[in-house]
Amino acid sequence: MVEQNNKKVDALAQEITLKSRGQGKLRQFILWMGALIIGAILGWQHIPVLNDLFNFIAAVFTRLFQFIAIPTVSLAVITTLSMLGAKKDTGRIFGHAVVYTLLTTICAAAVGLGLYLWIAPGNLPLDVIGAGAAQVPEKLGAVTYYDHFLSVIPNNILQPYLQANVLSVMFISASVGLAFAFMPRTEGREAVLKVLFGLQELLFTLIKALLYVLPIGILAFAGQLSAQIEAGVIVGALGKYTAVVIGGNLIQFFIVIPLFLLFRGLNPVDVFRKMSPAVAVALFTKSSAATLPVTLASAEDNLKAHPAVARFVLPICTTINMNGCAAFILVTSLFVMQNAGIELTIGTMVAWLFIAVLAAIGNAGVPMGCYFLTLSLMSSIGAPIGLLGIILPIYTIIDMIETAENVWSDASVCAMVDHDLQGKLDDSDGDMPQFQGV
């Protein structure tokens, strides 16, 4: 009888805790949305002192996210592979993640191509393209796609971390994680892993603290963006071209990805609500890598994804799952080639669709990564890169939308993989540090 009463008390306590957490998440969501609206209103007032304050706070938060992002990526990959590398779970998780990544990325590029054919942007005057060449960042016009891939291979173990080269960091981390997985289980191995897991727990604590004060950052980011719009910094787009790029991103965000979730038996609204902190941060930081700490925290604490899935899928998706980037590369490349007088046959456009998908997979999740990669591609075929100089002033808003779409896609892939493998994963790795109360 006493044992039954104790069980009832425990169940009641658990129910109260869950309800309290649910109410806390709702309050947190309302707080973030309120900060977003208030920041936008204040920024629109264009008060110089307030705008300077918003710029300062936004810069502080951006630096904090960048500070914590690289070690989060590295430790997540190393610790997850060290625990799963020698087990069949790794192959399952990776296989599902790659399939969803390829499908969503191809769909994003296809949507962009369809809109490009429908809206049919025209050519720009040659003098305008020539004037735009002066806006292209110095020396980047000569960068080749081979140079981009060569930059991934590190010749110094510290340099990628100091330069925030996400792809190189992933390369090193995957190598170290797999080495831990397949090396003999010696005392030295366990001691090093214990230190790495301790560092990961420390990072999770820092992430919780950062999320606690995030409304201040959202307020500043929203105010900064609103002030830019009011001042006309990101207004005056290239009409049809911009409509194709932004329209394709919005269709992928609000229609295509939710359809994937529905097809896998998931509620898109519920997934979005739980992952909204990550999408909001991505919108303002313009970096999937910088957003990764928030994405991981939201996936594990809100979405309740299996830690092995979240910590394996999300760091990988940060570098290979680039829906918005694929669409931008394809549409921009076609627009540039069209203005260069290159005939765009159906075969050429389909070929460039797959080139864009592969290029996006090889892109790093950093601000303006897609822009620089497209510039490399166009310079390698001798296309007029002056057009990219014209696009540069409006790329800020494009980059924001693209990054939010990329992180939304990352979150959705994680949710689908977790749903597919529910109950099929080895739970013996329960000693992995957990996000709690984020």
- Structure confidence by residue, pLDDT tens digits, 7-16: 544 444 444 4
CATH architecture of the domain with range 1-421:
Orthogonal Bundle (1.10)
Answer yes or no: are the C-beta atoms of 395 and 245 closer than 8 Å: no
Residues 173-208 as b/e (b if ≥16 CB within 10 A, e otherwise) read bbebbbebbeeeeeeeeeeebeebbebbeebbeebb
**Average pLDDT in the chain:** 78
Question: Exposure string (b/e) for 265-287, b if CB count within 10 Å is 16 or more?
Answer: ebebeebbebbbbbbbbbbbbbb
Query: Residue 406 pLDDT > 90, yes or no?
Result: yes
Q: CB–CB of 239/66 below 8 Å?
A: no
pLDDT in tens, 114-125: 999 998 887 665
The tokens describing 103, both together, are: 């499908």
Phi, psi at residue 433, to the nearest 5°?
-60, 145
Taking the CA of residue 45 as centre, how many other CA atoms within 13 Å lie in the half-sphere pointing to its CB?
13
pTM (two decimals): 0.73
- DSSP secondary structure of 407-427: HHHHHHHHHHHHHHTTTTS-G
Domain locations in the chain as residue ranges: 1-421
Cα separation, 140 vs 389, whole angstroms: 11
d(CA 110, CA 60): 38
pLDDT reading at 47 higher than 80: yes
Tokens 């990776």 -> residue: 94
**Spatial separation of the C-alpha atoms in residues 402 and 397, rounded to whole Å:** 9
Distance in angstroms (rounded) separating the CA atoms of residues 215 and 163: 29
Q: What is the pLDDT of residues 262-289, one digit of tens each?
A: 999 999 999 999 998 899 888 877 778 7
What is the arithmetic mean of pLDDT over 168-177?
82
Dist. CA 170–CA 166, nearest whole Å: 6
User: Which of 114-118, 171-175, 191-195, 229-233 is predicted least confidently?
Assistant: 229-233
Q: Which residue from 108, 89, 154, 113 is spatially nearest to 321, judged by alpha carbons?
A: 108
